């Protein structure tokens, strides 16, 4: 399993893209969140890393929640896959995995832009674009050969974090959350933890992560960062777009 960091920024960034990643998994590619402009994000990060991957090669999306800086790219992603499927008669739909409350409202989020299509002779539905898989907390599922579990986080909309494992190496992904020691304990099973750090009542301030034991801090990398984030404020390293995480690079 290799993990390419696509974006590391918060929702208000003027410099970067929303926090997201692309996993090179045993049986395919998996997106972790899908911000906009997803095609540009993929192009720039994969080019920087020396990968050659676009939306046509990605069959699975792990979605943390329905805030735009994490899911707005699903519209362009879904349209691109639909056009490719029409041209090639490809039957397979991309799969979206997310917590059950988010799954129940995903089409409500996408429908205003995606339902009034004419190629079907009827209004489009979510299942015309995606195969939806609601997740239950701590119930393990297989995604492109990876073992995936989710845990709900505290956020203004239903949100979750993930534990993602290829059987030998485990990645923890916090999702958007205020500081939650219970979540940290759950994520501490991972070899490497990608954790958000952003000021505000619904996010995790860096001071809270700085207070964690050294052993846990050594396994955390920071994401969802404001443009003015001061890297000198912590011994926890921030991630960079285009950076590749592997078992060999864990600290």
E strand segments, the chain:
2-7, 20-25, 28-32, 58-63, 95-99, 131-135, 141-143, 146-153, 159-165, 170-173, 192-196, 220-223, 237-238, 244-245
200 pLDDT tier (thresholds 50, 70, 90):
confident
Residue numbers of the domain that contains 104: 2-249
Domain count, the chain: 1
pLDDT digits (tens, 9 = 90+) for 166-187: 999 999 999 999 999 999 999 9
pLDDT band for 220, please (50, 70, 90 cuts). Answer: very high
Are the beta carbons of 29 and 23 closer than 8 angstroms? yes
CATH of the domain at 78: 3.60.15.10
């Amino acid at each position: 399993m290799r993990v390419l960091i696509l974006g590391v920024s918060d929702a208000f960034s003027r410099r970067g893209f929303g926090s997201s990643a692309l996993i090179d998994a045993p049986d395919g590619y998996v997106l972790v969140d899908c911000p906009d402009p997803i095609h540009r994000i993929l192009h720039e990060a994969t080019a920087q890393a020396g990968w050659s991957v676009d939306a046509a090669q990605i069959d699975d999306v792990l979605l943390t929640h329905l805030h735009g800086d994490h899911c707005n790219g699903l519209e362009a992603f879904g349209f691109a896959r639909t056009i490719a499927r029409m041209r090639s008669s490809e039957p397979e739909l991309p799969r979206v995995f997310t917590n059950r409350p988010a799954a129940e409202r995903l089409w409500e989020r996408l429908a205003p832009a995606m339902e009034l299509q004419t190629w079907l002779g009827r209004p489009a539905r979510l299942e015309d674009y995606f195969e939806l898989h609601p997740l239950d907390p701590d119930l393990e599922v297989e995604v492109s050969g990876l073992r995936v579990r989710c845990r709900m986080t505290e956020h203004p909309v239903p949100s979750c974090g993930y534990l993602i494992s290829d059987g030998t190496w485990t990645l923890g992904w916090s999702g958007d959350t205020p500081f939650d020691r219970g979540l940290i304990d759950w994520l501490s099973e991972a070899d490497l933890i990608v954790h958000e750090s952003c000021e505000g009542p619904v996010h995790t301030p860096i001071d809270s992560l700085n207070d964690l034991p050294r052993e846990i801090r050594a396994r955390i990398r920071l994401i969802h960062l404001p443009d003015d984030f001061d890297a000198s404020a912590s011994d926890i390293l921030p991630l960079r777009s285009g950076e590749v995480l592997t078992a060999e690079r864990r600290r």
